[in-house]
């Protein structure tokens, strides 16, 4: 009964168009009234406590870093480097998109920021070369979702805070699976683009490649600084967000000089707007998360999946299927905030490593960004490309299947996540 009240009070308002943040509060209030615990002061206190978290301070700084990189020329130089290196091979612009997505993901941690950068820079270029519009849009959307997987990742920060899991371990655990998804996208692009007739960009000379590399070296240094700093304990994940923001501002304003002081206010406002949305969601989710714990919703769900508790693979497959379904109707941030407190006790009781589960969970949520109707990345690419959602979905389907296959492999072979993390010394 408790689960039904929680889901009903959450889903009905959302279906009526109530913003997700307010629907989260309503679901918490409904549970409080059902349990006879209603107190407006408790609601307000949990909202305040939800946003009062030191690790969450990383979110606005990484979001600011993403805005600065797109406005200040860092993203464009990464794409230019990818063009110089692999743009000349058959289907090269597609590989450029995937290669650039991997590097951009290690800078911003946001799939939406990466989609905006890749779409604006590469979509017109690929169209001009003769690539199919829908397939091009599908590849750019699919490559963008590597963003929340390769560190730094806003998704990992939210999951780590809500689930009480080491964010540093999550960051390190996301590297290899993110590269696996990139490899799967490369293979899929090779298969789907081989029948296309398109013009190949000319092969760049050694001098041109060297120039592209030296031009982008400042941008490339950021992921190195962050990963090495985290690995050797120079700074925490929260401090890494500050480093990313300050470093990208320095490079954009002093080195590349593409972000004049006059534009700075607009960049800060854009980052602040996105931050406000994310942080308000986090704060409101704390109300329902507290009530979920008090009402023992995880205990009720655990009793439902009790037959699967002895088989970790079957349990994970069932949870992944549930998250895929939820991801079609809900954006990444609210899904993490709502489902993490519900699923974490079940995961711990089943003896599943929370870091390993976190990687699967964030990959699954990232895939949700390219599933209709809510897929945020799909909407960004639709806006850039002027394609309809139906056209884009046809183009994205082969890549979506490839990413789901990678997720299944990670479920079936946990060593693909755990071994690389162990080799890194964590």
For the segment 402-419, what is each residue's pLDDT rounded down to a tens digit? 999 999 999 999 999 988
pLDDT at 333: 84
Residue 104, token pair as written in the block: 């951009």
CA atoms in the 13 A half-sphere facing the CB of 267: 25
How many percent of the chain have pLDDT more than 70?
94
pLDDT at 389: 81
pLDDT at 405: 95
Cα gap 172→424, rounded to integer Å: 8
Torsion of Cα atoms, 250 then 253 then 254 then 258, to 10°: 130
Q: Which of 22-26, 174-178, 288-292 is least confident? A: 288-292
Whether residue 315 has pLDDT greater than 70? yes
Question: How many domains, in total, are found in the chain?
Answer: 1
Mean pLDDT, range 329-342, rounded to an integer: 82
CB contact set of 327 (below 8 Å; sequence gap of 6+): 335, 364, 365, 367, 368, 369, 371
Res. 396 pLDDT band, cuts 50 70 90: very high
Q: Are 142 and 167 in contact (CB under 8 A)?
A: no
pLDDT at 94: 84
What value does the mean pLDDT of the chain take?
84
- The domain in which residue 61 lies consists of 2-423
For the segment 58-69, what is each residue's pLDDT rounded down to a tens digit? 888 888 888 888
Whether residue 192 has pLDDT greater than 90? no
Whether residue 172 has pLDDT greater than 60? yes
């Amino acid at each position: 009964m408790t689960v039904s009240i929680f889901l009903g009070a959450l889903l009905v308002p959302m279906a009526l168009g109530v913003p997700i943040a307010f629907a989260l509060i309503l679901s918490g209030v409904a549970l409080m009234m059902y349990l006879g615990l209603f107190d407006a002061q408790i609601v307000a206190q949990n909202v305040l406590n939800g946003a009062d978290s030191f690790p969450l301070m990383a979110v606005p700084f990484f979001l600011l870093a993403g805005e600065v990189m797109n406005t200040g020329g860092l993203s464009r130089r990464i794409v230019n480097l990818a063009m110089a290196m692999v743009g000349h091979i058959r289907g090269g612009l597609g590989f450029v998109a995937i290669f650039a997505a991997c590097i951009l993901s290690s800078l911003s941690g946001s799939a939406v920021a990466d989609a905006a950068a890749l779409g604006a820079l590469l979509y017109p270029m690929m169209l001009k070369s003769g690539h199919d519009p829908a397939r091009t849009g599908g590849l750019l959307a699919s490559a963008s979702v590597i963003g929340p997987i390769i560190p730094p990742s806003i998704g990992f920060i939210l999951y780590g805070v809500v689930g009480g899991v080491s964010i540093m371990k999550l960051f390190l655990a996301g590297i290899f699976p993110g590269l696996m998804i990139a490899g799967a996208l490369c293979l899929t692009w090779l298969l789907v683009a081989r029948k296309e007739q398109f013009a190949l960009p000319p092969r760049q000379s050694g001098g041109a490649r060297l120039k592209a590399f030296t031009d982008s070296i400042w941008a490339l240094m950021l992921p190195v600084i962050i990963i090495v700093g985290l690995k050797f304990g120079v700074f925490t994940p929260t401090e890494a967000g500050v480093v990313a923001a300050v470093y990208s501002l320095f490079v954009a304003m002093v080195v590349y000089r593409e972000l004049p002081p006059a534009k700075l206010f607009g960049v800060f406002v854009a980052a602040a707007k996105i931050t406000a949305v994310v942080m308000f969601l986090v704060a409101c989710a704390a109300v329902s998360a507290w009530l979920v714990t008090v009402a023992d919703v995880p205990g009720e769900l655990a009793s439902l999946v009790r037959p699967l508790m002895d088989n970790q693979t079957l349990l994970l497959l069932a949870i992944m299927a549930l998250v895929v379904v939820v991801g079609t109707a809900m954006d990444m941030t609210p899904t993490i905030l709502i489902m993490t407190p519900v699923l974490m006790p079940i995961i711990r009781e089943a003896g599943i490593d929370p870091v390993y589960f976190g990687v699967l969970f964030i990959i699954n949520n990232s895939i949700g960004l390219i599933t209709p109707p809510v897929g945020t990345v799909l909407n960004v690419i639709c806006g850039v490309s002027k394609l309809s959602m139906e056209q884009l979905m046809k183009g994205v389907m082969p890549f979506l299947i490839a990413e789901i296959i990678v997720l299944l492999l990670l479920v079936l072979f946990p060593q693909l996540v755990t071994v690389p993390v162990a080799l890194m010394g964590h």
